[in-house]
Amino acid sequence: MLYIQFIVFTAGTLLSFFWMVVILGHRRQRNFERILFFLCLALFFFYGASLLEFNAQAYYAVPSPKLLLFAWVFVGLGLTLIPSLLLHLQIEYADIREIFRRRGTKRIWLAAAYAPLLYFLPHLASAFRTSSAFDFLTPVNALGAAYRIWLVASLVAAAAWQWRFAAAAPDEEQKRFHRSLVYALPIAVIGIGVIHLAGDFGADFHFGVSIFLAAVPLVPLAALVRNVQRFNFLQIGRQRNLIYAVFVTFLALLYLALVRRLSLWLEPAIPPESTAAILLFLPVVFFEPLQRLLRASLRQTAVIEMERTQRLMGPIQEMARLGSVPKLKAFSERWIREQLQLADVQLVLDKNLENGPPQDPGNIDKGALLDRFPIRHGGRFIGELRVSAHGAMLSGETLAALEYLAEQLPGSLDLCRLIDEKLRLERELAERERLAALGQMAASISHNLKNPLGAIKTILQVQMENSDLPSGVRAETKMVLEEINRLSATLVQLLKFSRPTILGEPGMVFCDVAQVLEEVAGVLRHEASRRGVHVRVTQPLQPIPVAASSDAVHEILSNLILNALEATPAGGSVEISLDTAPAFSKITVDDDGPGIPSVLQSRILQPFFTTKTQGTGLGLTIVDRRIAEAGGTLEFHSPVTNGRGTRCVVTLPTRRSTGSAFGAREPSSGTPKANQAE
């Protein structure tokens, strides 16, 4: 029984200390790990102090009272804190599982868990002053009946929580672990009752039951080691390097303790220094077989990790075949985070891969996550894989997997880019075919309608010159002429929509935006004066060249400014500003109108959509098409200030790119980049 007692208390001390070291090395910022640490600390107080008392009794004929008081203080303190910490641990785990429906419920449970300490801690302090209260054989009884009731109540409550956790567990392994605790905790309750009630069975019976109760917490602590190692319970399993380091350190300490004990045991026959030297050099004999064992184990681990990493790349490759870089980015982040069980994953790409303006990699925030893996393609930096572990660091196998992924991701990104370009070209070809058919239809309409309309218009104009024409007929004739003009304007808009702009060779077609703006503003000033709208133009003195034809820029500016004039009430203003940069020039048009309703912002670029009674719905569509053909961007922001106003921002390149991976931007297909301002 004494040997069993020594083994139980030694195992309890080592296991509780082992978990304390693991949690300190893991360093996850979560309350559950903190409470688990303090629960292990309380168990360490109990087991370590009991082991100290056992060794004192075995080594000294009469142990020092101060030593016994020291041991009893920590035994009593550990036992007093265990019920509250055990309940708190269940509460934190329930919070992780999101079992609490209301936040106040958790506070009530915490108050119930720690309220008894207000009674037991003063009672324990008074017990320390009475040497007759030192009962290391049955310390539960020595703390009084009230403590036994509190301990039994906490064990029963913990068993009920574990039953609930088992029902809500996501997999069978976790269900099995929680069910084992459901059975182990009531067994501890029965043992406490036996110690309290069985007073006639003698000291040996009490001693055996006490040792049995001391062994009960070892079962979940050992099972926790197994579960963490096998299926990453509590997200600690990915820290295998930490588990291995702590385990090897403990083995080394145990071996040194064995060396010391054997040296003292053989001291009558062999000097302790000789025994220690022999035992310390004895492991050298096992280096060769250990090396062979580790080589085979490491090789198998490497093969397993390589296969696992290749399996990781399979779904990423499948997602890359869809040809959408944003979708590939989002899926890769979620997939890597789930499969490698990481706290967070960010795939930061060079904006060229997402059809936007290029971004300098130096602008990336370097303090967002813990570990970063550069992604390079042909020696060129194209992005960065940023990850953070649940604990203090990444394990070795996870680190190797992430490095392999960083090497393989450029291939997937390149495949995604090529497929995206192929799909873009197919869509562009289909769009051109549709426009060609529409152009043929427009040409046919123009041929069949424009000449008759011109003849009708000429005849009516001649009739209008007749002074004998009755006033009623003259008014009706004037109305017919206005409708003919509207039909002619619609035909012109339809022809513009169906006919692409002639861009010429890349880098060969340029125009001065400032000059074109001056021409457009001069033409529309009469319309602005008629509507009572003030037009302000702000532009640099020097020319602003863009890689687009003057006809295309004229069409863009005239449509946008005319729309702003029509939206602005009398007395309002329209502001037009030009700004230039080395690679892009920006045109901004602001108006004081009512703004674009949020429900219509996604439709304003759709062909034939209009809110005007006399509109064709092609003006903004033509603008978007001309900007897309020039490789620029179109943005709408509405409202701008005080719930009113619309800001239109056009960005045109100052030079046409010939090496872009994606070519010119596609039209927005009816979905502009519109932002709802505060």
Domain with 357 in it: 310-425
Number of domains the chain contains? 4
The helix or strand, by DSSP H or E, that contains position 545, with its residue range, turns out to be strand 545-546
Q: Which residue has the higher pLDDT, 505 or 293?
A: 293
User: Sign of dihedral through CA atoms 640, 643, 645, 651?
Assistant: positive
418: confidence class by pLDDT, cuts 50, 70, 90: confident
In this predicted structure, what is the pLDDT of residue 538?
82
Q: Would you say residue 597 lies in a domain?
A: yes
Percent of the chain with pLDDT over 70: 75
298: confidence class by pLDDT, cuts 50, 70, 90: low
Same domain, 25 and 151: yes
DSSP 666: P
Same domain, 228 and 136: yes
Same domain, 450 and 363: no
Average pLDDT of the residues of the chain: 76
Q: Would you say residue 350 lies in a domain?
A: yes
User: Sign of dihedral through CA atoms 221, 222, 227, 228?
Assistant: positive
Q: Would you say residue 641 lies in a domain?
A: yes
In this predicted structure, what is the pLDDT of residue 676?
40
Query: Could you say which of 390, 409, 425 is where a domain stops?
Result: 425
Q: Would you say residue 63 lies in a domain?
A: yes
Same domain, 18 and 93: yes
Q: Would you say residue 302 lies in a domain?
A: no
In this predicted structure, what is the pLDDT of residue 495?
65
Same domain, 401 and 441: no
Q: Find the Cα–Cα–Cα–Cα dihedral 394, 397, 398, 401, rounded to 10°.
A: 140
Q: Which residue has the higher pLDDT, 250 or 561?
A: 561
506: confidence class by pLDDT, cuts 50, 70, 90: very low
Same domain, 138 and 53: yes
Q: Would you say residue 458 lies in a domain?
A: yes
CATH code: domain of residue 208: 1.20.1070.10
In this predicted structure, what is the pLDDT of residue 40?
92
Q: pTM to 2 decimals? A: 0.52
Same domain, 224 and 151: yes
Same domain, 549 and 494: no
In this predicted structure, what is the pLDDT of residue 654?
79
Q: Would you say residue 628 lies in a domain?
A: yes
- Give the whole-angstrom CA distance, residue 568 versus residue 483: 25
Same domain, 469 and 586: no
Cβ atoms of 418 and 410 closer than 8 Å: no
Q: Which residue has the higher pLDDT, 280 or 8?
A: 8
Q: Would you say residue 296 lies in a domain?
A: no
Same domain, 392 and 406: yes
In this predicted structure, what is the pLDDT of residue 154?
92
Residues found in the chain: 678
The pLDDT of 254-259, averaged and rounded, is 80
Same domain, 179 and 50: yes
Q: Find the Cα–Cα–Cα–Cα dihedral 439, 440, 441, 446, rounded to 10°.
A: 90
Asked if the model's pLDDT at residue 239 lies above 70, the reply is: no
489: confidence class by pLDDT, cuts 50, 70, 90: low
Same domain, 478 and 609: no
- Give the whole-angstrom CA distance, residue 39 versus residue 35: 6
The pLDDT of 46-61, averaged and rounded, is 84
Kindly report whether the peptide bond that precedes residue 545 is cis, defined as omega within 30 degrees of 0: no
In this predicted structure, what is the pLDDT of residue 613?
55
* pLDDT tens-digit map of 23-43: 776 666 678 888 989 999 999
Query: Could you say which of 209, 237, 265 is where a domain stops?
Result: 237
Range with lowest mean pLDDT among 65-69, 420-424, 591-595, 639-643: 639-643
Q: Which two tokens stand for residue 162?
A: 């574990």
In this predicted structure, what is the pLDDT of residue 616?
55
Asked if the model's pLDDT at residue 362 lies above 50, the reply is: no
In this predicted structure, what is the pLDDT of residue 435?
64
Asked if the model's pLDDT at residue 641 lies above 80, the reply is: no
